[in-house]
Structures are given as structure tokens and as C-alpha cells.
Amino acid sequence: MEDVSVSFDGFRALNHLSLYIDDGELRCLIGPNGAGKTTLMDVITGKTKPDSGSVFFGQTIDLLELDEPAIAQAGICRKFQKPSVFDALTVFENLELALKTDKRTWPTLFHKLNSEQRDRIQDVLQTIALPAQQRQLAGALSHGQKQWLEIGMLLMQDPKVMLVDEPIAGMTHQEVERTAELLLSLQGQHSIVVVEHDMEFVRSIARKVTVLHEGSVLTEGTMDEVQNDPRVIQVYLGG
Ligand code: ADP
């Protein structure tokens, strides 16, 4: 994203913001409420079109030329804070549905899964550590397990970029640790942007943290670098 600005009724939610996420990188975005984190995600996914600036996916795909479905189709997907899985379907069926509703495979919606598709579902079940629960109804899962299932549903679509909004809200300590492991295991194959308020969690997953403030990038660096930055301390503590 280069020099992106977004205004709502004259209020600058993003102000000449530039951000570069590397291929396969796991990046954390932090910043106080109102800093522009949600608006930034909205711009990447096409929900909000900026007033100015440019947003490119790779060298050639101009995201400002694409609408939301086309951006999703290009491999950029988003997970919101609240898990949205189908409670009345089993874990396996949720993943099956995610696979079949991918536009590239939707003609197979009413077909039986082939062995390659079954293997993919089993791979994802391993990744999200839910193979033993595959026949359980999703509604019977714990909150943390539902979050992982939803990440698994995104994985079924083989995304290149995953935008993840506050993944550990409401999780137990153990679930938080498992979520950190999961996200770390996904970096490299996917670029992942995580918005999160819990600084310990951010420290446990991110090599690089971007701090937003008043719609711009205040600073970027390792967790140690940004936490010791006097501007960051001032923004968070208002000192
Ligand atoms: P964050 O996610 O970091 O809390 P947001 O991106 O939600 O920040 O919001 C940035 C600023 O833009 C906030 O002051 C918010 O009130 C404002 N804002 C966000 N969306 C809208 C909107 N649709 N209409 C008006 N103002 C908005």
C-alpha cells in the first residue's frame, strides 16, 4: 500500500499510509482504538476504496481495480473476530463446504469428494489440530476450536494472504498458545496480517510489528524495538 488515504465525512481514518508486507511474512498490526487498523483491512479486501494512493498485490494486481469478490478470488481472505462456522454441520462438513464453495471448484458442489479433496481436508484437519473432532458437530466445539476451524475453512481456499482480526479474543491460555503455534506454522506458505491487542501474544508470534496511530504508520520493528520507542509509549499511555 502506497500513500493511501481514506476519509469519512472529512475525518481522515487513513492518512498517507504506506505499508509493505513480504511474501510469506507474519506481520502484526497494533495501535490504539481508532488508529485505522480496521479501515486498513477494509481497504485491502476492497470493502473500502481509498480517496488516494495505490494498493498492489504482487507487482501486477491493482487491488483498487477489483471488487471484493474478485479480491477474495485473487487469494486474499479475511477472518473476523467472531468465528462463523456452521454449528449444525460436522467439522469435516464445514471444511468440505469451504472447499466446494471456492469458485474454482464450485461445479463439484453436488459431487462426492474425490480422494485428492479428502486428502486436502485431512491435511487441513492436521494443521488445525482437529482430526479427532472431524465427526463432531462444529456447534459442540470450544470457542478456540471454532476459531481454528474457521482458519481451516480459509485454508481450504488456499489463500495467499490471510487477514486475521483479533484471533485470541475470549480464548483460554492453552488455546492462545495453540493459536500462536498454528499461525507460526502457516507463515512462509501464506502472508498473514494479524490485528491484535494482546501484546504478549504479539510478542510470541511476530518478528515485525507495525504500529498505527491516527491513520499512519507510527513505527515498525521488532516487538522490543517498538515497545521501547518513546512515541509508542506516548501513544499508548498518553504521556
Ligand atoms: P481501529 O480498527 O484501529 O480501531 P478504525 O479503522 O476502526 O480503527 O477507525 C479509524 C477511525 O475512522 C475511527 O476514528 C473511526 O471512528 C473512523 N471510522 C471508521 N469507519 C468509519 C465509517 N464507516 N464512518 C465514519 N467513520 C469511520
Q: Does the beta carbon of 10 lie inside 6 Å of ligand 1?
A: no
**In the predicted model, is pLDDT for residue 54 greater than 90?**
yes
Give all strands (DSSP E) within the chain, no chain letters.
2-8, 11-17, 26-30, 52-54, 56-57, 61-62, 76-79, 161-165, 191-195, 208-213, 216-221
> What pLDDT, on the 0 to 100 scale, is given for residue 108?
63
Task: Report residue 96's pLDDT band, with 50, 70 and 90 as the boundaries.
Answer: very high
- Cα–Cα dist 32/164, whole Å: 17
**In the predicted model, is pLDDT for residue 224 greater than 60?**
yes
**In the predicted model, is pLDDT for residue 238 greater than 80?**
no
Indicate which CATH number applies to the domain containing 44: 3.40.50.300
Q: 220: which strand partners?
A: 210
pLDDT digits (tens, 9 = 90+) for 106-164: 556 667 888 999 999 999 999 999 999 999 999 999 999 999 999 999 999 899 999 99
Ligand 1 centroid to Cα of residue 30, in Å, is: 14
Task: Report residue 216's pLDDT band, with 50, 70 and 90 as the boundaries.
Answer: very high
**In the predicted model, is pLDDT for residue 239 greater than 60?**
no
Average of per-residue pLDDT values in the chain = 93
Ligand 1 centroid to Cα of residue 205, in Å, is: 26
How big is the CA angle at 202 (ends 29 and 188), to the nearest 5 degrees?
80
Q: Does the beta carbon of 32 lie inside 6 Å of ligand 1?
A: no
Side-chain half-sphere CA neighbours of 236 within 13 A = 15
Q: Tally Cβ neighbours within 10 Å of residue 236.
A: 15
Ligand 1 centroid to Cα of residue 208, in Å, is: 24
Q: Does the beta carbon of 8 lie inside 6 Å of ligand 1?
A: yes
- Give residue 44's domain range: 2-237
Instruction: Indicate the number of domains in the chain.
Output: 1
